[in-house]
Structure 1
Amino acid sequence: MQDLGTWDYVIVGAGSAGCVLANRLSEDPNVNVLLLEAGKDDNYIWVHIPVGYLYCMGNPRTDWGFHTARDPGLNGRSLMYPRGKVIGGCSSINGMIYMRGQAQDYDRWRQFGLSGWGWDDVLPYFKKSEDHYDLNDDLHGQGGGVRVEEQRLSWDILDAFREACAQSGIPKIDDFNRGDNFGASYFQVTQRSGWRWNVAKGFLRPAMKRPNLRVITQAHASRIVVENSRASALELDVDGAPSKVTVAGELVLSAGAIGSPQLLELSGIGHPDILASAGVDVAHAMPSIGKNLQDHLQLRTIFKVQNAVTLNQMVHSWFGKAKIGLQYALTRSGPMSMAPSQLGVFAKSDPSFEAANVEYHVQPLSLDKFGDPLHRFPAITASVCNLRPESRGHCHITSPNKADQPEILPNYLSTEIDRKVAADSIRLTREIMSAPALAIHQPEEYLPGADYQSDAQLAQAAGDIGTTIFHPVGTCRMGSDAQSVVDDRLKLRGINGLRIADASIMPAITSGNTNAPTIMIAEKAADMIREDRRQMAASVRLP
């Protein structure tokens, strides 16, 4: 077995959290840091061209290629479940939308007994990581590793949808990241001058100049070695060669909501019954690992339109394709620069909700499912998701082989309230589409279809048209209770020297896209790790 030496900090996963941690922890020249990534480098052209997400998701060069189990809530369908397998992780293949969520999301975490995780506590970390193109004030920051810019295109049909929202009681706003995101606006994105800006560019590349940081790619973790209730080492394969790393300080898992629970269970840390059924011996019983999976299910409503230019028409002609390519080559703008979703809307599916409980991702295009060609008729897609679903799923290993994907079952639409929100969301979409601002475009419902009217019919339709929006969280839940996986300092209960810092620790999903909150978690985790090291050093020096 290849010996990779002894390290103060070993970080598993060079994704959105791992790259931030590698940067912040290696700022201390007195420690050495090892960052491990199962995927390859991000030197792949489609990582950097914004529209390249189409060629990265489902591509083994950049994606783990997961699929969900057949989900009863989706009427027995299985979904592709992309997760970044590349330097930069999901920030290299995601939709580039910069979204913090709502202030009440984090205040709710604090109400769970999680000291230091309220909105006022986490806002400084959002500001620290941000490099906003325009604002540097009480709510936004500049100079951080996350470049945030406006999109470099607009569509008349989306402007009309935004106006229709205003006519439906959803105001026009200019910023989704002030703590209350109720309203309609174009999303701001993690781009710089028309190129994707991933965490590798913002955090990892600058840090790799330091002599105390080493990054190893194609390094697939196999097992955490636990000795005397401490994470003492990590076994892994590097380019297929069995290897071992000794952990002198802390092992930090940043492999995400799928990868982190998977590695823990492969290491014998988890529910004894799950481990036994997978053929893994128990090293530390922890029944909550892999539970509490939450995700945003988007309902892809599609409306045919008239008297409007959509991407559907543009891509079905050689002239249109040439124009798109030339526009990007000359100005780094146009459809090749666009995020998967351009216009965002945060609304209430029912007026009784205190704050926005649904989010729209509106696109000037339509297709049957991801990966299929665009329709030949002009249309728009108004995808709407329940921001705070009550449904809970799981992610568990089914064998001791790390190459076997875990069973991922989100259990979408498994509660009555989630089915009701789904039905009301489709009704709200119809209301917006019938507003005067869209009358000139004569919208005609294509999916799910106007025949679906009752709550039961619309819930059935939601199961047919719903798909993931790629926001899995919660499988290594942070909490103040004994059943939680990590405490409020992200330390795994019962094992010393082991923390988790990624989206898996979220006790409840945030009200929006999850990449920025994951980066915030890593920023806060790095501060806690360094603070604990200083306190330990101080205690050793005491007489």
Structure 2
Amino acid sequence: MASFDYVIVGGGSAGCVLASRLSENDKLSVCLLEAGPAKQDWSVNVPAGIIKTMKDPNSNWLFRTAPQKNLENREMFWPRGRVMGGSSAINGMVYIRGHRADYDRWSAEEGCTGWAWDDVLPYFRRSENNERLTDDLHGTGGPLNVCDPRSPNPMSEMYVRACEANQIAENPDFNGDRQEGAGLYQLTQKDGRRCSAYHAYLEGVSRPNLEVIDMARATRVLFADGRATGVEYRRGDQTLTVEAKAEVILAGGAVNSPQLLMLSGVGPAAELGQFGIDIVADRPEVGQNLQDHLDVSVVSKTTTALGFAFTMKGLMMGLGAVRAYRKNRTGMLTSNFAEAGAFVRSTPEKPLPDLQYHFLPVVSDQHGQNRIKAHGVTLHCCDLRPKSRGRIGLVSADPMADPLIDPNYLDHPDDMAALKRGTAIGRNMLSAAPLGSQMGEEIYPGAAIDDDDKLDGFIRRKAETIYHPVGTCRMGSDDAAVVDTECRVRGVEGLRVVDASVMPSLIGGNTNAPTIMIAEKISDAIRGTA
């Protein structure tokens, strides 16, 4: 049995930060366990490689949800990162923090004292190296490189102008004083290469007090007298254990962390009893409070071939892109595809933007897995603060089995209403000049979807995740919360959860940057007591 002060489970957005920051103290020994490989495949490094990582079992858990009763009983595809860097190694690289009011809500209304905007801003800034923005809201010199798109597609710029024609002002910084508006997204890239949490915090780091073990599937947290003492994991055909002298830290994300807690006996006693799991702590909220941004797309063909496409002309463009990337890391292969977007209030009385758009100069359907051979555009829209709540549960006591994932999408009627408003706004965006002059046949929803009932049916048939699950190990000051405001698991000792699962509610935007911020903040809390 190997022994370390801290054992971190999960080498994703939070785990890489924690392993790096804690091991900066040479008096602490740290072990990081990652279920996927440490080797960074080309598709992880090259931004446009997201097309491959979306369905690659070497870097993706490829989860499926339970049938969704409000989405025609579809089992939804849920990609999550299974490689060093976690989901930051396969995501769209969009750098968004959320609205400052989200964090003030966490603190004032949801029991997360110490997590208001003024509390978290220093950690956003500490993590960031922004190539363009250097004001009081942005950081320079941090490990996570943030930059503008290197070679944006001309249609992305047209989208911003089309939004202006719809009275949606241009916004050059969605993480500035004002979130509302349209613009090009800033990205977690450096020199035309993805900058995942692994690239930012661990790549090239060699410290005698840090051991990184890849291909290590954690199977349970070990306990003695109510205290976490280590982790059991499988690597190849071996079952191994590692001891944690100070703490075990789970950083597996909103799906894997609650699953591992339950497999280890920390969770709803009634559910664990059904699978013969010995109860260490009856914590009914483990796995509950699951929230995600459900997304619906307007997809249209274009009359020109400016965008990316799975066509002969698109193939020729792709060959040119390979040459450009090899020569100077520019061109189409630097694209995250979701180069532009907008934050919009769906009705004037909304106090905050409640819709987010991701514009792609490519026809995309079913996470890119249904390849439509046409030049076109895709405009994703999600409801930023859905009211529906789901859960993560167990289907088996076998730690190698996937968990139950039930987002319970559209359980609340307000969520459907928001997506309907968002689709209508999105259609108007694509029809406005100068983008409108490029538009051809609308593929989805399609011309036949011309009334409220038909739009309802379309959303139930076609809505998908935009990859932002949170909330399943809720942080709070109340006794029912899974973790306290320093992410320590209630009911046991020596155990924390530090990842997107601790968010009490969704923030208004992409969740990668906030997850990195959480890990930065908790690393300080741990180092302050170590």
Partner residue in 2 for 1:253: 250
Give the match for residue 128 of structure 1: 126
- For residue 337 of structure 2, give the secondary structure of its aligned residue in structure 1: coil
Q: Match of 2:138?
A: 140
User: Is residue 79 of structure 1 aligned with residue 66 of structure 2?
Assistant: no
State the Cα deviation string for residues 490-517 of structure 1 (Å, max 9, x = none).
1111111111100000000111111100
The root-mean-square deviation of aligned C-alpha atoms, in Å, is: 1.6
**Counterpart for residue 196 of structure 1:** 194
Structure 1 residue 274, shift from structure 2 partner: 1.6
**Which whole-Å deviations, capped at 9, do the CAs of 1:298-348 have from their partners, x for residues lacking one?**
101112222452212766454323222222222312221100311111111
Secondary structure in 2 matching 1:423: helix
- Per the normalisation by structure 1, the TM-score is 0.94
Q: 2:476 aligns with which of 459, 474, 479?
A: 479
Letter in 2 for 1:332: R
Residue 408 of structure 1: how far off its partner (Å): 0.5
Q: Which amino acid aligns with 1:205?
A: E
Residue 55 of structure 2 corresponds to which residue in structure 1? 58
Structure 2 CA distance for aligned equivalents of residues 218 and 435 of structure 1: 49
Show the 5 A alignment for 1:464-475: 464-475=461-472
Q: Hey, what's the Cα distance between the residues in 2 that align with 1:438 and 1:60?
A: 37
Shift of 1:38: 1.1
Which residue matches 1:328?
325
CA distance in 2, matches of 1:442, 1:205: 43
Q: Verify: 1:427 aligned to 2:424, yes or no.
A: yes
1:218 matched to 2:215? The reply is yes
Aligned counterpart, 1:165: 163
Q: Which residue of 1 aligns with 2:90?
A: 93
- Residue deviations 1:40-74, cap 9 Å, x none? 11332211111111112221211112111111222
Q: Which residue identity is paired with 1:223? A: R
Q: What amino acid maps onto 2:267 in structure 1? A: G
Give CA-to-partner distance per residue, 1:463-516, whole Å, 9 cap, x none.
212111111111101012111100111111111111110000000011111110
1:403 maps to: 400
Matched residue, 1:49: 46
Whole-angstrom distance in 2 between the partners of 1:189 and 1:145: 14
* TM-score calculated relative to the size of structure 2: 0.96
Note if contact 1:42-1:88 (Cα within 8 Å) is conserved in structure 2: no
Alignment of 1:274-285 (within 5 A): 274-285=271-282
C-alpha deviation, 1:373, in angstroms: 5.6
Moved more, 259-268 or 26-35: 26-35
C-alpha distance in structure 2 between counterparts of 1:349 and 1:466, whole Å? 18
Q: Contact 1:39/1:85 (CA < 8 Å) preserved in 2? A: yes
Deviates more, 1:481-490 or 1:431-440: 431-440
Is this contact kept in 1: 2:311–2:374, CA < 8 A? Answer: no
The Cα shift of 1:132 comes to 0.9
Are the equivalent residues in 2 in contact too, given 1:420–1:455 (CA < 8 A)? no
SS in 2 for 1:252: strand
Q: Is the 8 A contact 1:39 1:218 kept in 2?
A: yes
1:440 counterpart residue number: 437
Check conservation: 2:266, 2:282, Cα contact below 8 A: yes
2:175 aligned partner: 177
Whole-Å Cα distance in 1 between the matches of residues 157 and 206 of structure 2?
45
Distance 1:50 1:465 in 2: 26
1:374 Cα offset (Å):
3.9
8 Å CA contact 2:300–2:439 kept in 1: the answer is no
SS of the residue corresponding to residue 242 of structure 1 reads: strand
Could you say what secondary structure the match of 1:205 adopts? Answer: coil
Separation in 2, partners of 1:460, 1:313? 28
| Identity, % of aligned positions | 40
Q: Secondary structure at the match of 2:218?
A: strand
- Conservation of the 8 A alpha-carbon contact between 2:318 and 2:332: no
Partner of 1:541: none
Matches of residues 296-315 of structure 1 in structure 2 within 5 Å?
296-307=293-304, 309-312=306-309
SS in 1 for 2:506: coil
- The yes-or-no answer on 1:355 pairing with 2:330 is no
Give 2:469's aligned amino acid: P
Which of the numbers 386, 390, 394 marks the counterpart of 2:383? Answer: 386
